[in-house]
Amino acid sequence: MSDGALKSGTLTRALEDAMGQMTPVTKLGETVSGRVHDAVLAGGEPTRRVADTLHGTWLGHPLHPVLTDVTIGAWMMGAAFDVMGEVTDDDGIRTAADRLTLIGTLSAGPTAITGLVDYSAAPKPSITSGTLHAGLNYLGVGLYALSLWDRHKGRRSRGLLWSSLALGLASASAWLGGHLVYRHRVGVDHSDRFDGPEEWTPVLDDAELLPGTPRCVSVDGKSVLLYRDGPEIYAVAAVCSHAGAPLEEGEIDGHHVRCPWHDSVFDLRDGSIEHGPATQPQPGFEARVRDGSIEIRLWGP
Ligand code: FES
């Protein structure tokens, strides 16, 4: 590599360094995301259900990236049709470009709402990137709205200028969206993967699991949370699927555990999600007592 060549990752590191200096952006992001999260919790069961829907808990996958494809796809196609319309001087192609731009801008509403809800429970290290991602998107949507207005009023050249600028902002924002996933692992399943045990396996002396006191044991080097509730013993993977929090530090109420970091609620009986932001369930285990030992085995398919 020549001295002047850009080393792999240099640009990304430079941008990360720059974001590390953006203290006001980070503080603003923490305030906004914290307030949205507090509002979701304060609304109780109804707002949590709405937030779950927007997170994509029902989908088993974050909903936001699904919707971004619609928005970005329509804007990109609109830009391509804009170019073709000018090159061919074809009003039909221009009309198609306007409609695609409109579809992208209208779909940005639900896309932004799902993003805002995910942002409200984003892990702290991702807040600066998330705030910039949101800010660029809101600016981009504003410019697209201006573009549509100018197109509607017959000021096409100005409309194309606004949409070109907006597409540039949306592209920069898309890079940040990728950064959130690939660098900060936002939306990625953080829970440990378990391939077993498929057979009943002793993990703890029965006498050591006190009622109402969670206990972590190691299975193949990974943490499993045990909890005794009356005659029942529950066992689920202890690392939260949303962002990796230790669930043994969460609040347990009956057969539910509430994550200490962003308040996902899991059913201890099988690891399923009661409330997001998690969109992937916890690996769950069957548990029983035999010969003075607690034994577990992975839930079968
Ligand atoms: S780490 Fe975010 S909800 Fe558990």
> In this model, does residue 225 exceed pLDDT 60?
yes
Region 195-213 average pLDDT? 94
Which residue, judged by its Cα, is nearest atom 2 of ligand 1? 262
Which residue, judged by its Cα, is nearest atom 1 of ligand 1? 243
Query: Could you report the per-residue pLDDT of 114-128, keeping only the tens digit for each?
Result: 999 999 999 989 999
Give the per-residue pLDDT at 211: 94
Ligand 1 mutation pick, 264, 275, 279, max ligand atoms within 8 A of CB: 264
CATH number of 201-298: 2.102.10.10
> In this model, does residue 2 exceed pLDDT 60?
no
Nearest ligand 1 atom to the CA of 123 is 2
Q: Is the beta carbon of 277 within 6 A of some atom in ligand 1?
A: yes
Residue 300 — very low, low, confident or very high, per pLDDT cuts 50/70/90?
Answer: low
User: What mean pLDDT, rounded, does the chain reach?
Assistant: 94
Ligand 1 mutation pick, 262, 273, 279, max ligand atoms within 8 A of CB: 262
**pTM score of the predicted model:** 0.89
Crossing angle (nearest 10°) for helices 127-152 and 10-20: 100
